[in-house]
Structure 1
Amino acid sequence: MADIIHLLPDNIANQIAAGEVIQRPASAVKELLENAVDAGADDIRLIVNDAGKALVQVIDNGRGMSETDARMAFERHATSKIQKIEDLFHIRTMGFRGEALASIAAVAQVELKTKRKEDNAGVLLEIENSAVVKHEPVAFEGGTSLSMKNLFFNVPARRNFLKSNASELRHIIDEFIRVAMAFPEIFFSLTSNGQQVFHLEKGSLKQRIVQILGNNYSSKLVAVQEKTDYMNITGFVGKPETAKKTRGDQYFFVNSRFIKSAYLNHAVMNAFSELISKDSYPMYALFIDLDPGHVDINVHPTKQEIKFEDEKIIYAFVQAAVKHALAQFSITPTLDF
C-alpha cells in the first residue's frame, strides 16, 4: 500500500496559516501598520477601498528593503525581528512571527514597492497565490508601499463570511486607532474610498488622544504616571464625567502593543468604583512598560492576548496608579467632618 502522508505545498500551507492570521481586512491593516512602525517610519498612510475588500494599501517612509529581503519577506516564518529562541523573551518590535506577509500573499493579490535610501532603484514585486508573477526594478522615492487587492479572491467561502462594508470599516478604524494611539510621534492618515477619515499630525500622547477621540476630552484628561523598578505606567484617564454607557474608549498598551485584558480593565474600574455608576465605563489610554522577559506575547497570532509573569502585581499597580492620579486632581471623594 502506498504511503499516504506528504508535505503540503507551500501555497496550501500558507492559506491554512492565513486562516488564523488574516481573518478580515482589518487583520491585514494591523500587520501592515505594525511592519511600517518596525521599519522606523515617521509617516504612515493607510488607504482602503471597499472597506479593505478591494484594496488595503500602506505607504511608509521607513528604511525600505533590499531586493533579496523583499523576496524573503513573503516566505513563511521569515522575519528580521528575531534570530534565536532567547529573542522571544526580549521582543521590543511589533512583529516577530514572520507569518503576516506570507499569509496575505496566500489570500490576496499583493503589490510591493520598496527602496532603501542607499539604493539607486527600488524593487517591484507582484504576488498571487503565493507565487511571484512580476519582479522588476521600479522608480520609487524610498520606504515601502504594500497593496493588498481583492482579499480572499481565491477563497470565495471566506469572502462570503465578511460582514457589511460599514462593519468591516469599523474594524479597520479600530486597528488603525490602536496603532496610531501607541505612536503619537508618527504621522498617520487613513483614507477610505478617496475620503480622508483621519489626519493625525505628530505630537504628544495627549494631543493624539484628543485628535482621535475628540476635542471634548481636551480639558478632561487626568495624567497617570508611576515609575518603579519593576514597571512604569503612563497615560491618561478621563475625568469621571466623561464616562460613557458603552465600553468604547478604553486602551491598554504593554510595551507599546495594544492588548485586551478583562483583568486589568477590572483594576481600572475598581479605581473608579466610587466615582461613577456601575453601568458606566471610564475612558483610559494606559501604557505599561516592563521588561519583555516578564511577559509572554506569543500566546495568539494577533498578539492581543498576553500572559504576565505576575498578574497580581500588575493589577495592584494599575489600580493604585489610577487611584493616585484621580486623588491628585482632587477627584476622589473626601470625607467631610
Structure 2
Amino acid sequence: MADIINLLPDNIANQIAAGEVIQRPSSAVKELLENAIDAGATEIQLIIKDAGKELVQVIDNGGGMSETDARMCFERHATSKIQSIEDLFQIRTMGFRGEALASIAAVAQVEMKTRKTGTELGTYIEIDNSAVKIQEPCQTAEGTSIAMKNLFFNVPARRNFLKSNAAEMRHIVDEFIRIALAYPQLQFVLTSNNQQLFHFEKGSLKQRIIAILGPHYNARLVTVKETTDYMDVYGFVGKPETAKKTRGDQFFFVNNRFIKSPYLHHAVMNAFKDLIPVDSFPLYVLFIDLDPAHVDINVHPTKQEIKFDDEKVMYAFVQSAVKHALAQFNVTPTLDFDLDPGIQQLDAVNKPFTEAQQNLSTHTSLYKTFSQANQAHMIDKSTNSSNLRHWKDLYEGGNSDRYTQEQPHLEHPDTVSKPAPAYDSQPQSTASVIDERWQDTAVDQKVPVQVHQQYILSQIKSGFILIDQQAAHERILYERYQRALQESPMPTQQSLFPQTLHLQPVDAAVISEMLPDLQLLGYDLEPFGNHTFIVRGTPADLQHNNEQASIEGLLEQFKHFSNELKINKREQLVRSMARNNAIAAGKVLAPREMQNIIDELFACSMPNVSPGGKFTFISFKLTDLARMFERGQ
C-alpha cells in the first residue's frame, strides 16, 4: 500500500501560514511596523497606495540587516528574538515568531532594501510568490525599506473578499494609531496615495493622544499612575463628559503591545460607574507593565488576545487605579453657582441669615417637631395652629414680630382660614388625582394623549392604538431620507456662522466616504484638511441647531450599525440619521405634534415596524377590553 502523507512544499505552507497572519492589508502594516520598531528605528514612514492593495511600504532608520540576514528573514520560523525555550517566556519585542515576512512574501510581490549600520553597501532583494528573483548589492540609506506590492495577486479568491478602499483604509489607520500610541517617543508618518495623512513628532504620551484625538481633549484627560512590585498601570482616562455611545476610544497596552480585553474593559467601566450613562463608553489609553512570565501573548494569531496568570489581580488593580485617578482629580458632578447669575439673585444666596433669625426659627414648635430623630412624620396636635398656618415664614423671612409678640390669634388678611369642605376628613378619591391633561383631552375623543412622555394613545373605531413615539418617528424619517436619496434631495438650512468640525482620523475617513450621500440628505460639508470639515448647513427639518452634535451623533449611530448589521453603507447612513434625529422618549409633545406623527406614520409604506424591526404601535380592540373587564358575562 502506497504512503499518502507528504510534506507540503514551502510555497504552499507559507500561503497557509499567511491565511492566519496576513488577513488584509492592515495585517501587513502591523507586522512591518513592529519589525521597524524592533530594529531600533526612531523615524518610521508608512506609504500606502490603493488602501494597501497596490502598495504597503515601510521605511525606517533602524539597525538594518546584513546580506545573509536579509535573505534569511524571508524563511519560515526565522527570527532573531528567540534562542532557547526560556526566551519564549521573556518576550519584550513586538515580533518573534518568524512568520511575518515569509507570509507576506507568499501572497505578494516584495522588494526590500536594507543596509546595516556602519557598512558601505546595502542589499536589494526581490521576491515573487516566495521565490527569490533578485539579490544584489545596492546603494541605500541606513535602515530598511520594505515594499509589499499587489497583495493576494496569486490568491484571487482572497483578494475578492477585501472590502472597499475606504473600509480597508480605516483598518490600516487603526493599526497605525495603535502603534503610534504605544511609542510616542518615535516619529511616525503615514502617506496615502501621495497625500500625507499623519505626521506625529516625537513627544510625550499626552501629546501623542492629543495629536490623534484632537486639541479639545487637552483639558479633558485625567492622569492614571499606580506602581507596585507586581505591575505598573499608567496612562490617561477621559473625563466623564468625553464618554460616547459607541466604542472606539478605548486602548489597552500590555508591555507596549495593544490588546483587546473585555475583562479589563469591564474593570474600567466599573470605575466609571455612576459617572457616565450605562450605555456609554469612556475614553482611556492605559498601559500595563508586568513581568512577561505572568502573561501569555501567543494565544491568538494577531497577538491581540492574551492570557494573564492571575486575571482577578489585574482586574482589581486596574479598577482601583482608575478610581483613584478620578477621585484624586475631583472628577465628580458639581454645582457651580458662579455660572448662573440668576441663582445669585435668589434671597437664599444674597441675603444673610442672621443670628436672631436662626434663634427665632429654631425655637418654634414646628422646627422642633421636624428636627427630632424619627419624628419627621409626626406633628404635635397641641401645636398652635397659627404657627402651622405661617410655616412659610421659616423660609421666606417673614415678620419676626409675629412670633415675638405672641399673638396667636393675629392673622394676616391673606392667610385667613376658610371653612374646610365637608369631604376633607375623607380619603382623597381616585378620580381627583387623574392627570389634568387627560381630563382636558378626554372631552374630545379624537385628540391623542401622551402616556409617560413615551407613547401616544389614539382612539380608533374598533378600540385604540398605543404608538411608540420614538420608533414611529424613526420610521417616518427613514422613509423620508430614502426618498431624498432616490428622488429629490432634502433642503438645507444654511448656517449664519459656519462651524469647524474636528474629527478623529477614522471618523474623518467615514465622513469623507459618505459626503455625496450626506449632501443629498441636507448636510453641507466641505473638507478643510487635517481631519477637519467646515459645516455650512444641516438638514432643514432638524429640531436642534447644534451642527457638531448632530454630525457626531450621526457618526456614533453609523459606527453602531457598522458593528451590528451586515448592510451596505447607504442603508447604514439612512438608518443612522433616522435613529439620531428621531424624537426621543421623554420629550413632551403637544396634541398637534402627536397628530402629525400619527398622520405621517400611517402614510408610510411600512408603518407597523421601525427600520430596526421594532413594533411602532400596538392595537387594542373593544372586544379585548370587554373580555379583560369581564363585560357581558
Give the TM-score normalised by the residue count of structure 1.
0.98
Deviation at 1:279, TM superposition (A): 1.1
User: Aligned with 1:112: secondary structure?
Assistant: strand
- AA aligned opposite 1:296: D
The farther-off stretch of 86-95 and 1-10 is: 1-10
Tell me the residue number matched to 2:54. 54
Mapped to 2, the partners of 1:133 and 1:284 lie a distance apart of 47
- AA aligned opposite 2:122: G
Mapped to 1, the partners of 2:216 and 2:307 lie a distance apart of 35
Tell me the residue number matched to 1:322. 322
Tell me the residue number matched to 1:237. 237
- AA aligned opposite 1:69: D
Q: Deviations over 1:165-212 (max 9, x none)?
A: 000000000000110000000000111111111100000000000011
User: Aligned with 1:305: secondary structure?
Assistant: coil
The answer to whether the 8 A contact 1:178-1:258 is kept is yes
Which 4+ residue blocks in structure 1 deviate beyond 6 angstroms? none
User: Aligned with 2:158: secondary structure?
Assistant: helix
Mapped to 2, the partners of 1:150 and 1:218 lie a distance apart of 41
Mapped to 2, the partners of 1:24 and 1:291 lie a distance apart of 32
The farther-off stretch of 239-248 and 283-292 is: 239-248
Deviation at 1:61, TM superposition (A): 0.3
Tell me the residue number matched to 1:68. 68
Deviation at 1:246, TM superposition (A): 1.3
User: Aligned with 2:7: secondary structure?
Assistant: coil
Q: Deviations over 1:13-49 (max 9, x none)?
A: 0000000000000000000000000000000000000
Tell me the residue number matched to 1:95. 95
Q: 1:333 to 1:241 in 2, by over 3 A?
A: closer
Tell me the residue number matched to 1:26. 26
1:1-337 → structure 2 map (5 Å cutoff):
1-332=1-332
User: Aligned with 2:184: secondary structure?
Assistant: coil
User: Aligned with 2:141: secondary structure?
Assistant: coil
The answer to whether the 8 A contact 1:125-1:134 is kept is yes
Q: Deviations over 1:119-139 (max 9, x none)?
A: 110100000111100111111
Deviation at 1:319, TM superposition (A): 0.3
- AA aligned opposite 1:53: K
Mapped to 2, the partners of 1:213 and 1:137 lie a distance apart of 43
- AA aligned opposite 1:292: P
Mapped to 1, the partners of 2:210 and 2:96 lie a distance apart of 31
**Aligned Cα root-mean-square deviation (Å):** 0.8
Mapped to 2, the partners of 1:244 and 1:322 lie a distance apart of 18
Q: Deviations over 1:144-178 (max 9, x none)?
A: 00000000000000000000000000000000011
Mapped to 1, the partners of 2:136 and 2:301 lie a distance apart of 32
Deviation at 1:216, TM superposition (A): 1.3
The answer to whether the 8 A contact 1:108-1:154 is kept is yes
Deviation at 1:301, TM superposition (A): 1.6
- Kindly indicate whether structure 1 or structure 2 has the higher relative contact order, using CA contacts under 8 Å at least 6 residues apart: 1
Q: Deviations over 1:203-238 (max 9, x none)?
A: 000000001111111111000000000000000000
User: Aligned with 2:110: secondary structure?
Assistant: strand
Q: Deviations over 1:259-298 (max 9, x none)?
A: 0000000000110011000111111000000000000001
Q: Deviations over 1:80-108 (max 9, x none)?
A: 11111111110000011110000000000
The answer to whether the 8 A contact 1:185-1:202 is kept is yes
- AA aligned opposite 2:140: F
- AA aligned opposite 1:113: K
The answer to whether the 8 A contact 1:58-1:147 is kept is yes
Deviation at 1:332, TM superposition (A): 3.7
Mapped to 2, the partners of 1:126 and 1:261 lie a distance apart of 39
- AA aligned opposite 2:263: Y
User: Aligned with 2:210: secondary structure?
Assistant: helix
Mapped to 1, the partners of 2:84 and 2:299 lie a distance apart of 18
Mapped to 2, the partners of 1:38 and 1:58 lie a distance apart of 13
The answer to whether the 8 A contact 1:42-1:186 is kept is yes
The answer to whether the 8 A contact 1:123-1:138 is kept is yes
User: Hey, which of these two has a bigger chunk of strand by percent?
Assistant: 1
- AA aligned opposite 1:137: P
Q: How many residues align?
A: 334
Identity %: 76
Mapped to 2, the partners of 1:114 and 1:332 lie a distance apart of 54
User: Aligned with 2:330: secondary structure?
Assistant: coil
Deviation at 1:2, TM superposition (A): 2.3
The answer to whether the 8 A contact 1:56-1:147 is kept is yes
The answer to whether the 8 A contact 1:274-1:333 is kept is no
Mapped to 1, the partners of 2:71 and 2:120 lie a distance apart of 18
Mapped to 1, the partners of 2:332 and 2:325 lie a distance apart of 9
Tell me the residue number matched to 2:504. none
Deviation at 1:141, TM superposition (A): 1.1
Gapped regions of structure 1 (runs ≥ 5): none
Mapped to 1, the partners of 2:213 and 2:86 lie a distance apart of 39
- AA aligned opposite 1:160: N
User: Aligned with 1:252: secondary structure?
Assistant: strand
Deviation at 1:333, TM superposition (A): 5.8
Give the TM-score normalised by the residue count of structure 2.
0.52
